[in-house]
Amino acid sequence: MEKVLEKLKELESGEVGIIIYSQVKQDILLSLNKGLLVPLASAAKVAIAFCIAKLVEERHYKWTDIVEDVILNPEEDSNEVYPHFQNRENLALQDAVEVMIACHDSFVAERIVQFCGGWEMINNKIKSYFNNINITQNPRDLDNNGELSEMLELLRLIYQGYKTNPNLWIPVINGLVRQRGDIEGIPSHFLNHMTGGLDNVVVDIGIMGEFSKNPLLFVLGAKELPNRYKEKLADEIIIDAMKLLYDEYCNQEVELEN
């Protein structure tokens, strides 16, 4: 894990944090700036999905409930990932949550939240579990933020929840699995994650490795970076760190086999 850490320390400006959790050891393998508060951008949709799953678990809603007047954001990639959902005005709640995550779709997020009680209600729901996660209607709002340690715990609860009650958590997991955030050199089915970004922020939350065996759960956040649309170095460093994390996963699998 030291290689991952050393790579991230190459970021010369801004603040960066990462937490890596081992399913095998049921413990944190690496933690850097775990209390870092970062704008979440689209990654906040995982927190929205967590709240909806909890509302379904509490029987306030059913995954088969119909969300009406759905419009898919044409600037996202749902036309490629869900071509069969185009021109649909209504979606089952489970399908809407999946699309929201897989395609970073803020239009769908808006309809889901309004269907399930509004932004204030959903934000209060997430705060009943996590004091330092805040969800706003505009994903680009800097107050749409979360502490890395709490985002990791959110992810851990989703992953563990799927293990024990897959029917409840399948829409959230489907969204993570189908998101098209591939990194060259990492098999796409070994990287199930949710990214978020602003011009000076990068967030990545996900599951590295074979999902059903011993994956690593990770959350990475960096803020106050040089403008990412003009300067690509920070993104390149973070991608290299993700590749090193994949190497760590592969090394773990070799050790387990032996």
52-86 residue pLDDT tens? 999 999 999 999 999 999 999 999 999 999 999 99
Distance of CA 209 to the CA centre of its chain: 15
Structure tokens that stand for 237 in this block = 């460093």
pLDDT given for residue 35 in this prediction: 98
CA-CA distance, 180 to 65, in Å (whole number)? 27
121-143 residue pLDDT tens? 999 999 999 999 999 999 999 99
Q: Based on the number of CB atoms within 10 Å of its own CB, is 167 exposed (0-12), middle (13-18) or buried (19 or more)?
A: exposed
Q: CATH assignment of 2-257? A: 3.40.710.10
End-to-end CA separation in angstroms for the chain = 20
**Can you give the length of the chain in residues?**
258
pLDDT at residue 256 above 90? no
CA-CA distance, 137 to 144, in Å (whole number)? 8
189-247 residue pLDDT tens? 999 999 999 999 999 999 999 999 899 999 999 999 999 999 999 999 999 999 999 99
H or E element in which residue 17 lies:
strand 15-22
User: Which of 110, 96, 89 lies closest to 64, judged by CA?
Assistant: 96
Q: Which residue has the tokens 């991230």?
A: 8
CB 203 within 8 A of CB 41: yes
Determine if the pTM surpasses 0.75. Answer: yes
Structure tokens that stand for 212 in this block = 């059903």
Structure tokens that stand for 126 in this block = 């997430």
CA-CA distance, 163 to 132, in Å (whole number)? 26
pLDDT given for residue 255 in this prediction: 85
CA-CA distance, 61 to 115, in Å (whole number)? 10
Q: In which band, very low, low, confident or very high, does the pLDDT at 179 lie, cut at 50, 70 and 90?
A: confident
Residue range 78-101: average pLDDT?
A: 96
Q: Domain map of the chain by residue range?
A: 2-257
